[in-house]
Amino acid sequence: MLETNLWLFLAAAVVIAAVPGPGIFYVAARTLSAGRASGFASTAGTALGGLVHVVAGSLGISAIILASAELFAAVKFIGALYLLWLGVKTFRGAGRALTLESEGVGDKRAFRDGVLVEALNPKTAAFFLAFIPQFLDPSASHPALQSIVLGTISVTMNTLADVVVVLMASATRRHLTGRPHLMRRLTQGSGVFIAGLGLSLALARRPVNG
């Protein structure tokens, strides 16, 4: 890989990671609703889900999904329904959020949810397919390996940004723990926001060149 391409990629990856997107909003909502541990678990899950797209893109699986209207719609609606279900569940469980956090349960579930939410988002697949190839060195061997390396770097940058967001959201939540009414409203709002991400995904269109 050309050194110039690598530095350009790193600069672009940092900028993209710093721009708030669905992933950042998702882990923020999970942190606000269930606490820092749940936020970190969700972050680890979305990171693994992102790596799924990196590998799938390198192997050509993502291109197949994006090229098929039926496959794209199936993955999109499964992901959207999952987000909607998580949003409704978070909203309905608002009164139990503090109890669940104090009992230390749900972190494994938050990790699993993060993996599924990110892995079932075809918009992430479309992003990697559009972004990564611009920085590959066509004269070098093993383009799939180049793609995996760059994709992993991008996922790492995004994850670091998510960690910062979790810490900020956790601090906000900590200031409200002595106010049960506000905490309940905050958790309900997080549930509505997660469901909103599901609706946004459901309305996403397949890329024209997919």
Chain-centroid distance, C-alpha 55: 16
pLDDT, average across residues 119-125: 88
pLDDT, average across residues 194-201: 86
**In the structure, what pLDDT confidence band is assigned to residue 146 with cuts at 50, 70 and 90?**
confident
pLDDT, average across residues 6-21: 85
Which pLDDT value is given to residue 191? 82
Which pLDDT value is given to residue 37? 92
pLDDT, average across residues 68-76: 86
The DSSP output letter for 140 is S
Percent of the chain past pLDDT 70, that is, above it, reads 89
Taken in order 187, 189, 192, 194, the sign of the CA dihedral is negative
* pLDDT(63) > 60: yes
pLDDT, average across residues 70-83: 88
Average pLDDT in the chain: 83
* pLDDT(101) > 70: no
Please give the C-alpha separations between residue 22 and each of 121, 162, 163, in angstroms, as whole numbers: 10, 11, 14
Chain-centroid distance, C-alpha 95: 26
Percent of the chain past pLDDT 90, that is, above it, reads 27
- Please give the full DSSP string across 73-134, using - where no structure is assigned: HHHHHHHHHHHHHHHHHHHHTGGGHHHHHHTT--HHHHHHHHHHHHHT-HHHHHHHHHHGGG
* pLDDT(210) > 50: no
**In the structure, what pLDDT confidence band is assigned to residue 1 with cuts at 50, 70 and 90?**
low
d(CA 194, CA 17) in angstroms, rounded, equals 20
Kindly report, residue by residue over 150-171, the tens digit of the pLDDT.
999 999 999 999 999 999 999 9
